[in-house]
Chain A
């Protein structure tokens, strides 16, 4: 690896980083505006056109606010927690390919993806587990009642739904491994996207959401719960727990938790688009036999990817405006008594169907 390679890798990572920051600024504003519209309010409209700079204004405000050190806090852990929230959030998105790899004249390619590891999905699961530490440590180190309760609740919730999240992913991998041409399948997300190219029956895109709709349902519910979003936002149930695990955080330290939450929403939506909606694959230009100019063909995959991701992000906002918060026992019931048995059932169904499709019947 020479200097050019290193600089290309650096460029890729910085591009991913900047993309995530921009998207977060946009998403916070979009959520406030969309939820406001759904509730017949105006929402932010002062900072910039349509209030689009509201997030920047909020960020600047928090930047100039005092960072309070609570008296009872364990300061080491207290300061470490925002780091543990932000770092896994950014690392998780590194696995997601957000455009068609750019091909150069000499045959080398520049993947529009942070890192293409063959353990991609496992890395995603690992990072979403790591995010739990931030919540636990923030809650515990604050030395205060409400953050502690919020932290303990958040842990139990996150680990409950993570099992369902993983099972939904396994079902997808089983299906893709069975439907592929050869038996070799890695957990790399770029390979998962590549395997969703083409169509079923000539018109239906070959996306996993059609054969794997059950897995998508489980994945979506678990993803909402993983990111602690309404209706599963018991972690910061204002009426019971004030601000939840970040009650004692102020200024930029609080802003970091906020940033991590929105990066996680975007990452989870991007993951959903990659696993179930074909990632950056799109058929609009090929389906109608249009001749696409080269520059458009280069940009379109990223547009497809962002569009699909934002469909899922919009669903996150939508159910937040629609559904009331669950009670804690309802949350745990849904997780352990419905979602996990359901996910295992779907996995068993997938495996048996795929086995009958690909292998000779066991009695034959």
Chain B
């Protein structure tokens, strides 16, 4: 593998980017431009927007993002092992098994803590935890 093998990727990058750029720019010359205050206002089903878009989000989205990072890094390691499966033998299977077990343990923990439960109100979750404690 040399850098020259990546040449098609670079060409395709330029080609795709050029295609988008040319379509957008050329279309500009042939399309009307008539911005009215109503047209450029943020879409709100036809009524005037009264509030700004929310700046804060449920923390679950961040939790999902962090979990994803853990799993994605795991998958990268797994590819390295998988492509040399025959060379590593049982040692590789055991090592990856232990590694995966600990990642899976994270998932189980997060699952049991309720981080993967969506659309559950805080009150319902509190009631559930009270029931468990009792």
Contact = CB atoms under 8 A, between A and B. Distances in A.
Interface of A: 1, 6, 9-10, 12-14, 16-17, 62-72, 79, 82-83, 86-87, 89-91, 94, 114-118, 121-122, 125, 129, 142-146, 148, 152, 155-156, 159-160, 162-163, 166-167, 169-170, 173-174, 177-178, 180, 182-187, 242, 247-248, 251-253, 255-256, 327-329, 332-333, 336-337, 340-341, 344, 347-348, 351-352, 354-355, 358-359, 362
A144 B119 contact: no
A344 B100 contact: yes
Interface string B76-100: 1011001111110110010011001
A94 B118 contact: no
Contacts of A90: 12, 15-16
Contact of A63 (B30, B44, B119): B30
B72 A178 contact: no
B35 A13 contact: no
B41 interface: yes
A160 B31 contact: no
B101 to A, nearest CB: 10
Interface of B: 1, 4-9, 11-13, 15-17, 19-21, 23-24, 27-28, 30-35, 37, 39-45, 49, 53-54, 57, 61, 64-65, 67-68, 71-72, 75-76, 78-79, 82-87, 89-90, 93, 96-97, 100, 104, 107, 111, 116-120
Contacts of A180: 86
A91 B104 contact: no
Given A94-B8, A328-B118, A159 B24 contact: no
Nearest to A153: B61
A156 B119 CA distance: 15
Chain A interface main SS type: helix
Nearest to A354: B85
Given A148-B54, A247-B43, A66 B116 contact: no
Contact of B40 (A62, A70, A116): A70
A86 B93 contact: no
Contacts of A64: 27, 30-31
Contact of A248 (B27, B43, B61, B65): B43
Contacts of B75: 125, 163, 166-167, 170
A332 B118 contact: yes
